[in-house]
């Protein structure tokens, strides 16, 4: 076939292998807005799949802010260091720094770019980076890109990290990187202990608050604020694309850090600035996070209730302490089958499989938002019970 050159024949073979092991993925098409109920491939479903934790993705105030900024056109036309950096981008950075309580902030095209670009700008050959085994792919890719030595420690294991730090002498710089709220397990990193270790061993500490920004902490800054260590963590990364219902990532920290990243973070330097309208929507979202704390408070309260209810119904939610609640079922095929059965009952709870999670830890990832009603949550529990009741899901320890 003209479009399938022999040099790509290996793809067909490897795709078949993925299909056979239950790891093949396909996209569904959403029509209409991203809300607690959505239309996917033409089917109306209660949506437990989105990261739109505060229900802002379809909030008209974000759309209105973007529409107003569109008066100056859509495209940015250049990277930020050439001529792509507009008033809207700058104002959002000022607002992000205020929100985070830091000297400065930098807007990146995505959370992925913020993570990978920052790590590679802060560590290099001759340095060592310590990374939690369950860190997000963007942190792991940043470690690889940096060409520093990489030491991974088992999930949230501070004893292990302490030993690794003690053994890693002779390096120019050390950097510890971690998610603050783990995106698949929904548990929190031990940030107090990590801050202690970083200080004791003179290591830089970078945390990724992607799923916690807007949700945790009195002001919605994230887990570091919740645990009272935000001023002890010099490199704090967040994203506008989850609870803030928009798109784009950011880094908050000292002016020196931010100016360094402006000069050295390659995804920032070598990528066109996102549209100014996106920055305008991000500002509107930050204002809502500031003015409507009931969204995060209600969400976390409802998440606590759901975790308790799931436990009472015999489901093990592992170590979740947040709005992300995994039901670990082990094999990918099993996760897909349960997800499919829920879909037939009108509930969308995606199956999460390797490489997103380690082998043997495929799960159903329940993602709660403040748009879910009590009826929706009760309906989900009922549908899970229908699938076989207590113990239907074998939970990994
Ligand atoms: C923990 C974590 N960090 C970073 C990202 C990337 O953020 P973004 O979607 O803004 O690129 C994600 C996205 O899924 C994530 O889960």
Joined tokens for residue 188? 């929190």
Model pLDDT, residue 219: 97
Given a contact cutoff of 8 angstroms between Cβ atoms, the answer to whether 230 and 221 are in contact is: yes
What ranges in the chain are assigned the alpha helix state H? 9-20, 60-69, 87-100, 111-122, 137-146, 158-167, 191-200, 223-226, 255-264, 266-269, 276-291, 294-312, 332-344, 374-386
Please check whether residue 3 lies inside any domain of the structure.
no
Q: What are the tens digits of pLDDT across the range 41-54?
A: 999 999 999 999 99
Please check whether residue 6 lies inside any domain of the structure.
no
Specify whether 176 is located in the same domain as 305.
no
Please check whether residue 15 lies inside any domain of the structure.
no
User: What's the CA gap between 105 and 96, in Å, rounded?
Assistant: 6
Residue 333's CB is within 10 A of a number of other CB atoms, namely 16
Specify whether 215 is located in the same domain as 353.
no
Residue 215's CB is within 10 A of a number of other CB atoms, namely 28
Q: What are the tens digits of pLDDT across the range 286-338?
A: 999 999 999 999 999 999 999 999 999 888 889 999 999 999 888 888 899 99
Please say if the pLDDT value at position 396 is more than 70. Answer: no
Specify whether 185 is located in the same domain as 237.
yes
Specify whether 90 is located in the same domain as 233.
yes
User: 276, 291, 306 — which closes off a domain?
Assistant: 291
Q: Calculate how far, in angstroms, residue 298's C-alpha sits from the geometric centre of ligand 1.
A: 23
Q: Which atom of ligand 1 is nearest to the CA of 179?
A: 1
The sign of the CA dihedral 272, 273, 276, 280 is positive
Residue 119: pLDDT band (50, 70, 90) is very high
- pTM reported for the whole predicted model: 0.95
**In the block, residue with structure tokens 């067909």:** 12
Q: Measuring CA to CA, how many Å separate 16 from each of 22, 24, 292, 334, 355?
A: 10, 8, 49, 19, 16
Model pLDDT, residue 394: 40
Please check whether residue 17 lies inside any domain of the structure.
no
What ranges in 51-86 are assigned the alpha helix state H? 60-69
Model pLDDT, residue 388: 63
CATH number at residue 329: 3.90.1150.10
Specify whether 228 is located in the same domain as 337.
no
Residue 390: pLDDT band (50, 70, 90) is very low
Please check whether residue 81 lies inside any domain of the structure.
yes
User: 291, 308, 342 — which closes off a domain?
Assistant: 291
Specify whether 198 is located in the same domain as 149.
yes
Model pLDDT, residue 310: 93
Specify whether 38 is located in the same domain as 92.
no
Query: Which residues, 6+ apart, have CB-to-CB distance to 374 below 8 Å?
Result: none
| Of 24 and 366, more confident | 366
Specify whether 71 is located in the same domain as 109.
yes
Model pLDDT, residue 2: 61
3-class DSSP assignment, residue 362: strand
Specify whether 40 is located in the same domain as 89.
no
Q: Which atom of ligand 1 is nearest to the CA of 248?
A: 10
Q: What are the tens digits of pLDDT across the range 58-90?
A: 999 999 999 999 999 999 999 999 999 999 999
Model pLDDT, residue 5: 84
Q: What are the tens digits of pLDDT across the range 127-179?
A: 999 999 999 999 999 999 999 999 999 999 999 999 999 999 999 999 999 99
Q: Calculate how far, in angstroms, residue 78's C-alpha sits from the geometric centre of ligand 1.
A: 24
Model pLDDT, residue 395: 42
Ligand 1 near 367 CB (within 6 A): no
The β-bridge partners of 330 are 362
Q: Measuring CA to CA, how many Å separate 278 from each of 118, 268, 271, 292?
A: 21, 16, 15, 21
Please give the DSSP secondary-structure letter assigned to residue 216.
Answer: S
Q: Which of 89, 134, 211, 372 is catalytic?
A: 211
Please check whether residue 154 lies inside any domain of the structure.
yes
Q: Which of 76, 183, 241, 320 is catalytic?
A: 183
Please check whether residue 271 lies inside any domain of the structure.
yes
Structural domain count, the chain = 2
Cis peptide before 355 (omega within 30 of 0): yes
User: 234, 261, 291 — which closes off a domain?
Assistant: 291
Ligand 1 near 115 CB (within 6 A): yes
Given a contact cutoff of 8 angstroms between Cβ atoms, the answer to whether 241 and 112 are in contact is: no
Please say if the pLDDT value at position 389 is more than 60. Answer: no
Look at ligand 1, atom 16, and give the residue with the nearest C-alpha: 183
Model pLDDT, residue 315: 85
Ligand 1 near 135 CB (within 6 A): no
Q: What are the tens digits of pLDDT across the range 178-223?
A: 999 999 999 999 999 999 999 999 999 999 999 999 999 999 999 9
**13 classed as catalytic:** no
Specify whether 110 is located in the same domain as 188.
yes
Q: DSSP for 302-357?
A: HHHHHHHHHHHTT---TT--SSEEEEEEESHHHHHHHHHHHHHTTEE--EE-TTTS
Q: Which of 53, 96, 183 most suits a substitution to test ligand 1, by most atoms within 8 Å of the C-beta? A: 183
Ligand 1 near 34 CB (within 6 A): no
Ligand 1 near 213 CB (within 6 A): no
**152 classed as catalytic:** no
Q: Which of 53, 109, 112 most suits a substitution to test ligand 1, by most atoms within 8 Å of the C-beta? A: 112
**183 classed as catalytic:** yes
Supply the range of the domain harboring residue 182.
Answer: 60-291
Please say if the pLDDT value at position 3 is more than 80. Answer: no
User: What's the CA gap between 160 and 143, in Å, rounded?
Assistant: 19
Given a contact cutoff of 8 angstroms between Cβ atoms, the answer to whether 272 and 57 are in contact is: no
CATH number at residue 260: 3.40.640.10
Specify whether 47 is located in the same domain as 179.
no
Model pLDDT, residue 344: 95
Query: Which residues, 6+ apart, have CB-to-CB distance to 255 below 8 Å?
Result: 103, 104
Q: What are the tens digits of pLDDT across the range 235-280?
A: 999 999 999 999 999 999 999 999 999 999 999 999 999 999 999 9
Please check whether residue 40 lies inside any domain of the structure.
yes
Specify whether 78 is located in the same domain as 146.
yes
Ligand 1 near 109 CB (within 6 A): no
């Amino acid at each position: 076939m003209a479009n399938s050159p022999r040099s790509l024949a290996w793809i067909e073979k490897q795709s078949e292998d993925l299909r056979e092991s239950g790891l093949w993925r396909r996209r569904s098409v959403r029509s209409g807005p991203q809300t607690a109920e959505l239309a996917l491939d033409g089917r109306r479903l209660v949506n437990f799949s989105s990261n739109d934790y505060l229900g802002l993705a379809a909030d008209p105030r974000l759309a209105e802010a973007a529409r107003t900024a569109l008066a100056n056109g859509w495209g940015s036309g250049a990277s930020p260091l050439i001529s792509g950096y507009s008033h809207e981008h700058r104002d959002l950075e000022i607002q992000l720094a205020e929100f985070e309580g830091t000297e400065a902030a930098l807007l990146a095209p995505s959370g992925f770019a913020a993570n990978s670009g920052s790590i590679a700008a802060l560590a290099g050959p001759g340095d060592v980076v310590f990374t939690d085994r369950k860190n997000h792919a963007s942190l792991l890719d940043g470690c690889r890109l940096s060409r520093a030595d990489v030491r991974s420690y088992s999930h949230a294991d501070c004893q292990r990290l302490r030993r690794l730090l003690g053994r890693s002498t002779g390096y120019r710089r050390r950097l510890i990187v971690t998610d603050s709220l783990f995106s698949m397990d929904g548990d929190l990193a031990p940030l107090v202990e990590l801050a202690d270790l970083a200080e004791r061993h003179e290591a830089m500490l970078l945390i990724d608050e992607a799923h916690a920004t807007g949700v945790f902490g009195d002001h919605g800054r994230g887990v570091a604020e919740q645990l009272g260590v935000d001023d002890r963590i010099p490199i704090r990364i967040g994203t506008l694309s989850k609870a803030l219902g928009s798109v784009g990532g950011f880094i908050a920290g000292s002016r020196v850090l931010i100016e360094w990243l402006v000069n050295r973070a390659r995804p920032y330097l070598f990528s066109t600035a996102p549209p100014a309208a996106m920055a305008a929507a991000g500002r509107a979202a930050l204002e809502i996070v500031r003015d409507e704390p009931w969204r995060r408070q209600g969400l976390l309260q409802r998440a606590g209730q759901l975790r308790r209810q799931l436990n009472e119904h015999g489901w093990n939610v592992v170590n979740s302490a947040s709005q992300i609640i995994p039901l670990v079922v082990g094999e990918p095929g099993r996760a897909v089958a349960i997800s499919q059965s829920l879909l037939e009952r009108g509930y969308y709870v995606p199956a999460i499989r390797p490489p997103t999670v380690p082998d043997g830890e495929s799960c159903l990832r329940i993602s709660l938002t403040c748009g879910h009603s009590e009826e929706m949550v009760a309906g989900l529990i009922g549908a899970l019970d229908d699938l076989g009741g207590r113990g239907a899901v074998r939970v990994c320890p």
